[in-house]
A and B are shown apart, each in its own frame.
Chain A
Amino acid sequence: MLADFLQNTLDGLSAGASYALLALGFTLIFGVLRRANLSFGPSIMFGAYCATWAHVNFGASLLLLALITVSGAVLAGAYVERLCFAPHRGGSAIAAMVASFALWMQFEELATLVMPRHLYAFPMLYEGDPLSLGPLTLRVDTLAMLAAALAACALLWWTLYRTRFGLAVRALIEQPAAAALAGINVPWVFMRVFALASALGGIAGYLVVATHGQITPMLGMWATLKGLLAMMLGGLGSLPGAVIGGLALGLIEAHTQWYLGPQLRDLVAYLLLFVLLAARVPWMTTRSAS
């Protein structure tokens, strides 16, 4: 019993690590722009499909695939930022978000056009046997995923707290009006925040696809849903909240799936979000959401 609980906790943390990265990406964009980018998941999918294409046609190495995924995601993110968010800055949030959904449709169709099969194999991070710690099983690639997520968070922390760019980002999140007055080049910061968020998402996407060993067009929707869910659970607009929300979501999912099955797993996650939102729990609803 205890062994099951610990195993589920471990599995939940590893899934939670990718959710945390996704949530961080969403939160960066939301914190600075006050809008949700519905194309975030699909732009990650774009990057992952670029890597799949490279794998299918050239058999690229793992590191190269990771780089391609991140670059693809950043490129897609820039496209989305230019078309959906830059034109509506200071304007209609709904228009921006619906436009980002429109681009989601574009990415999905593009993926099915260039890579028409529903499922493609993706080279796995690690093909060997999982490690055993007593009664617990730990997959090596899960460990790699946790380590990579940790490294990405550390890199993000360094960017936000040790660079001028990071200072500008934090200023925009905390005091948007004052930051603009202080002369920060807001559009420039926005673009770079998008790139940063997309890069984080690309890392998350690569890790997920490489640990599952396969990719489908559902990746876009999946990443968007999990990222949004985790971001909201941890408290909209808070970076530490995003990490906590992601890990919490992973844990909640792993445990409910064990005791109640996969359908109830999703049901519980959505129910939790709905109840927390309806109760207007203060940590969740303090930031204005345009």
Chain B
Amino acid sequence: MAYFDAASAEPLHPSGREALLAALDDGWADPARLHREGRRAQLLLEQAREAIAAEIGCRPDELSFTGSGTQAVHLAVLGAVQARQSAARGPGHLVASAVEHSSVLNAADWLARRTGTAVTLTGVDHLGRADVAEFGIALQRERTLLACLQSANHEVGTLQPAAEAAAACQAAGVPLLVDVAASAGRLPVPDGWSLLTASARKWGGPAGVGLLAVRKGTRWREPFPADDRENRRVPGFPNVPAVLAAAASLKAMGRERPGTDAALRALVGRIRSEVPRTVPDAVVHGDPDDRLPHIVTFSCLYVDGEALVTELDQAGFSVSSGSACVADTRQPSHVLAAMGALTHGNVRVSLPRDVSAASVNEFLEVLPPIVAKVRDTVRAASTAASQVPATPQPPEGVTA
């Protein structure tokens, strides 16, 4: 039995849990008020801001808390682009890698439809790494208002060429949004960003806390009705207890990193080498070395991803999948598609900080027979489908 979906949500870190419980008693009041309770909440909020700013390498006044990582990305993209759009100079141009988180692509799409912003999605290689040359050329287009490149890919774990992209953006005079959601708490934050976004639940903080950092000197304008909270960047009053918990978890993850990083890296390395050896027709995606410590994704030919996730769940392993049948949209993962990788039979394993080697070994033992079983089922269904016309079947246990 094991939870292997830390890339969706890392279980709340014990330090975060402790901070959350304490802050529920001390930090519940409105931090904008001048009374005793409000001042206490304000003090706690600013302590959390300083702690997180120190971890990600920015000034506290550059950092705002949002309600989620997705909200942070939407505010970053819309605020940065709309600050530089004008009626006289047109809707401009936005560049993003094709493997960004869907929140980046959805915000770009929104700008394209609402304001006419041109959007260029640049390609990646077969490991999922952004093509810096193509990214750099796209930046040269006139009136490029924003470029977006994640620090690391959230599905396959490949690290992105952050330093090169930042240098290209600086040379072109284009602000760069770096979404560090996949890597925050796991790897140091890369330099050279103009805007930065992250999500606390990916580092063992509670759900409902995102980070939006805007570097001094970067133009940004609130895209939604103005509100005086969070440096006028985020509407609504921040969830102070959750923010404190997020800060405690991030600090703890940083403290523990020297131990956990090597352990997770070795276990992921083991999955990467074992799966192609023990599962016929399986392919492991992403960079084998230059990658996040905790994420590995593979695809098994001739298997339905939904069936695989369901069977693994029944065997006690919680994983996610980029296969179309598992996605909300019924579309295959845009990351795997951009890489030219097989999208069906896909499994993403992302290990939490306290994973045991025994649970990984157990997973590697149950996987081959489960894949074989699902293959047999799918093949039987496909043979039946191609030989007899499809007729409605009664549900299991019901006599026709």
- Say whether A and B bind each other: no
* A residues lining the B interface (CB < 8 Å): none
* B residues lining the A interface (CB < 8 Å): none
